Structure 1
Amino acid sequence: MPFVLPSQLLSAALKEHDLVPSVVPADFTPSVALDVVFPGRKSFSVGEKLTKEEASQEPQIAFLNVEDIGPDEPSSYTIVFVDPDAPSRQDQKFGQWRHWVQPGLRPPSIQALASLAGGATSDVDIKISEATAQPFATKEKEAATPWRGPGPNPGSGTHRYTFLLFREPKSSDFVIDAQEDLGGGNEFEQRRKWNAMEFAAKKGLTLVGVTFFTVDG
C-alpha cells in the first residue's frame, strides 16, 4: 500500500466534502499541520463528526510552520472559523457565517522550542497538544470576531464547520477592523454572507492551513 501524506488526506477530505473550491481555493496546498483542540477533548480528525456541545467553547490552536524556524521572530497568524452551510447546505443564503476571526496568533519561538526539546526550563509557558505534541499558539491580540460555537438549526442537516489559518503580512501596522475589514460588526445578523478568501485577499493574508469538522442540525 503506498504511503499517504497527511496533506494528501486533507486535500482528499476537502474535495470529498465539496469544500473545494467553494470555501478553499482549488490550488491550495497546506504548508502547516493545523491542530484544533476544544476544551475537554483531544483534537478531532479532519471531517470528524462532533456535537455542538463538544465544539461550544473556544479552542486552542497548534501548528508549526517550517518557514518560521530560524533566528527571526516567527510570523503571526490569523485563524478564521466559518460555516458555509447557513442556514443549511441546501439553502446557503447566509453562508459563510462568520463564527470567529482571531488575529495575532504566534507560535513559540525557535528558542522556546529548543528549550522544550532539551528539557530546559523556558521563560515561555508552553502548553502542548497531547494529540500531536505540537505547542499551542499564543494570542497577542483581541479577537476581531469573538468566538461563537456551532448552533445549527434542528433539521438543517450536516454543517461543514471550517477553520482556515492565514499567515499575516509582516507589517507593524497590520490590524483587522470589524466594520471596515469584516464587512460589518459582530452582531448575529452582521456575521452572515461573509467570504473568508475575499477577506484574506483584502488584507494580504496567505492561506497555510485548513481543517474542518461536521455537526448535524
Structure 2
Amino acid sequence: MYRLCFLIFLINVNYFIASPVQSDLASSFLEHNIVPDVLSVVPEEYLAVKFPSGAEAHNGNILTPTLVKDLPSLSWNAEPDLFYTVANVDPDVPSHDDPTKGQVVHWLAGNVPGDDILAGDQLMEYFGAGPAQDTGLHRYVLVVYEQPAKLEFDEPRMSNLTAENRYYFSIGDFAKKYNLGDPIAGNFYLAEYDDYVPILYKILGI
C-alpha cells in the first residue's frame, strides 16, 4: 500500500512539474496559429533550442536574424537507439499576411541517431532566418519527429549556400510521405529583417 501511494505521489509531482511547460507550449502554438498553419497538433514535448550567439528560442519570443544565423543545438528526450527527423520551416513567405510560397525549409535532417544531429542525413543544410524588408515578423518553427526506422530519403540534398528547392514545402506532407506521424517535440521563435539579411541573401544568391 505504501509503495502504491508513493507511486501515485510521484506521478502527481511529475504532472504538476511538466504541466505548466506543456500548457505554455500548447497555448503559444495555438495563439500564433502554428496549429493549424504548420502542424495539425501541438507536439507533446518542449524542444530546447540554443544558438551559438547565446540566444534561445522560447515559444514565440522575438530574435534577430543576426542572433540565429548559425546552426543551433537542440535538446529533447531522445532515445539513443532511435532515429529522428528534424525540421525548421518558415510558413510566412513572403509575409505572414501573404504566405504564397508555402513553407520555406531552413533545415531538414533525417536519420538522426538519438540527439546527434550532425550524424544524420543533412537533406537541407541549415541557414538562419531571412525575412525580407518590410514583411514584418515571420514564424520560425522547429520540430522533431520520431522515425519508425532508418529511412531512405529521396529528397534533394541542398547545401546552405542556396535557397533552391526550399520553397513550397509542407512539413505535414513530408511527415505523411515518410510515415513519421505527429511531431514529438517543437518550439518556435519570431524574427524580422535586420542588417544580416542582405548578407544571407548574397550567400544564397537571392
Measure the CA separation in 2 of the matches of 1:29 and 1:162: 12
The answer to whether the 8 Å contact 2:29/2:42 transfers is: no
Cα RMSD (Å) of the superposition?
2.0
TM-aligned CA deviation for residue 139 of structure 1: 3.0
Normalized per residue, the structure richer in helix is: 2
Shift of 1:31: 3.3
**Ranges in structure 1 where 5+ consecutive residues have no aligned partner:** 108-135
* 8 Å Cα contact 1:106/1:138 also seen in 2: yes
8 Å contact kept, 2:109–2:117:
no
Q: 1:40 aligns with which of 53, 66, 73?
A: 53
**What corresponds to 2:84 in structure 1?**
77
DSSP-derived class of the 1:20 partner: helix
Match of 2:167 in 1: 192
Q: Deviations over 1:45-67 (max 9, x none)?
A: 211100001000011111115xx
TM-score, normalised on structure 2?
0.76
Greater Cα offset, 159-168 or 34-43: 34-43
Partner SS state of residue 35, structure 2: coil
Matches within 5 A, 1:1-217: 4-25=19-40, 28-65=41-78, 68=79, 74-107=81-114, 137-171=116-150, 174-179=151-156, 187-206=162-181, 207-217=183-193
Whole-angstrom CA distance in 2 between matches of 1:29 and 1:212 = 12
SS in 2 for 1:211: strand
User: What do the CA deviations read for 1:24-63 (whole angstroms, capped 9, x no partner)?
Assistant: 11xx253333111110205332111000010000111111
2:147 maps to a residue whose letter is E
Question: Which stretches of structure 1, 4 residues or longer, exceed 2 Å deviation after superposition?
Answer: 28-33, 104-107, 136-142
Provide the aligned length of Structure 1 versus Structure 2: 173
Residues 156-199 of structure 1: CA deviation (Å, up to 9, x unaligned): 0010000111111124xx122324xx9xx664242111100100
Return 5+ residue gaps in structure 2 as ranges. Answer: 1-15, 194-206
Under a length normalisation based on structure 1, what TM-score does the superposition of the two structures give? 0.73
Identity among equivalent pairs (%): 26
Q: How many Å apart are 1:8 and its aligned residue? A: 1.3
2:68–2:129 contact (8 Å) kept in structure 1: yes
Displacement, 1:102? Answer: 1.1
